[in-house]
Structure 1
Amino acid sequence: MNRTAFVTGANKGIGFEIARQLGEAGWKVLLGARSIERGEAAASELRNQGLNAEFVQIDMTDKESIEEAAGSIRANYADLTLLINNAGMPGAFSSSFSATQEADLRNAFEVNFFGTFRLNQQLFPLIQKNEGTIVNVSTDMASLHFMQSSAYALNAFDYNASKTSNNAMTVAMAMECKNSTAQVFAVTPGFTKTDLNGNAEGGKSKADGAAIIVGYATDGLRHNGEFLDVNGVYAW
């Protein structure tokens, strides 16, 4: 059985680890990245490890780039059964609502929401046809419950709001999968050391964060419409 996955933001960080772990599990992995040089280097590194990996250029801020990447996938990888929307950016990681600048809010939404929305709309029909899975990578701080109840919540409104909107998209997509075997769900890897947060101390490794996402994406269980963390269903 052919198993092909597309992972965005896969030239480094959690995305690269997701791609590596899927490859080690026998998947053909398409690594999505904006930089051709970095994307090709990442795919080459996985191939040198004996894994089946190819690079797909995609700029999540560019509508035409997204359409071209999706068109290439539909034409050349029609067996796609897994899409992991990992690409993201922090905006300015604002410290509060009052400190948030509109430009930073728009930048965060452009990748974390609009770019992901465009790609999902392009590939959702193929995933549905192939009875596959879409995972929208989320964050604890996308949870309104977490933001209201946790002493560890970071009030980065630009980043958090874009990811909360992504969660709403997850629910909307999952509603269309209720009567099919295709599924869409969200996963937060939890606090992980990545470039997005300056590789902050105290977070889990990129490999450990990726393993949470890959685990749910490949466990064969029905997670449609769920928001999951390492312990299971997470409050919206």
Structure 2
Amino acid sequence: MEKIAFVTGANKGIGFEVARQLGGQGWKVLVGARDAEKGHAAVEELKAQGMEASFVQIDLTDGSSIEQAASTIRNEYRGLSLLINNAGMPGAFSASFSATAEQDLRNAFEVNFFGTFRLNQQLLPLIRENQGTIVNVSTDMASLNFMQNSPFVLNCFDYNASKTASSAMTLAMSIELRDSEAQVFAVTPGFTKTDLNGNAEGGQSKEDGAKVIVGYATDGLRHNGELLDANGVYAW
């Protein structure tokens, strides 16, 4: 049976590397991206490496775009069994609560929470039918436990809050799937150099970050409702 995965934000960064690693394991990868030119270029690069890939245009700030992408997948890629919600945006990476602008908070929530929420609602029935997996890509800073107890906190309220809300979504979805063969969980790859953080020094490579996500997505184990990092279960 053909293995089909849909990865959002897959034209560059961790998302592209996730797609490449899945393709290397024999998955047909649907490359989700807002920019059609960049999305098609990513698909061609994967195909040049001998992988099976197709482009699905999706803009997570646009409800009609999300509905169209989901309709395309339901009609043309009915065997979808893996959805990796990788696409995200940082808001403005605010320096503190007081420095957070409301519009930046709304921008972060629009992609990281509302757009992902819409896509999950659209594709959850298909994933459930195919006994598949949904991975919501997270961050260490989505963890309230981490934010309260770690000395290495980036108090980016716009970005962090949107990802914490995504954690609540992951839990709500996992409760709905408790009696199903399908599952949903969150993975934080750890601090990784990406365009989202300006390729900040000290981060791991995109390859290593993607490896954490792909590892859990394909290990065949039951992780429903968990938040995972490279070392295992990570406190919410």
TM-score, length basis structure 2: 1.00
Instruction: Map 1:1-236 onto structure 2 (within 5 A).
Output: 1-236=1-236
What's the CA shift for 1:196? 0.4
Separation in 2, partners of 1:150, 1:13: 27
Separation in 1, partners of 2:233, 2:136: 14
Letter of the structure 1 residue corresponding to residue 6 of structure 2: F
Separation in 1, partners of 2:158, 2:40: 31
Percent identity between matched residues is 75
Letter of the structure 1 residue corresponding to residue 170 of structure 2: T
Letter of the structure 2 residue corresponding to residue 227 of structure 1: L
Separation in 2, partners of 1:49, 1:55: 16
Separation in 2, partners of 1:90, 1:210: 18
Which 5+ residue runs of structure 1 have no aligned equivalent?
none
Letter of the structure 2 residue corresponding to residue 15 of structure 1: G
Superimposed CA distance per residue, residues 8-47 of structure 1 (whole angstroms, 9 cap, x where no aligned partner): 0000000000000000000000000000000000000000
SS in 1 for 2:84: strand
Separation in 1, partners of 2:31, 2:214: 15
Report the RMSD for the aligned CA atoms in angstroms. 0.3
SS in 1 for 2:32: strand
Aligned length: 236
What's the CA shift for 1:56? 0.4
Separation in 2, partners of 1:150, 1:73: 41
Superimposed CA distance per residue, residues 133-186 of structure 1 (whole angstroms, 9 cap, x where no aligned partner): 000000000000000011111000000000000000000000011001100000
Separation in 1, partners of 2:110, 2:180: 30
Tell me which stretches of 4 or more aligned residues in structure 1 moved more than 2 Å: none
Letter of the structure 2 residue corresponding to residue 92 of structure 1: A
Separation in 2, partners of 1:68, 1:180: 27
Superimposed CA distance per residue, residues 38-79 of structure 1 (whole angstroms, 9 cap, x where no aligned partner): 000000000011000111000010000000000000000000
Superimposed CA distance per residue, residues 177-206 of structure 1 (whole angstroms, 9 cap, x where no aligned partner): 100110000000000000000000100000
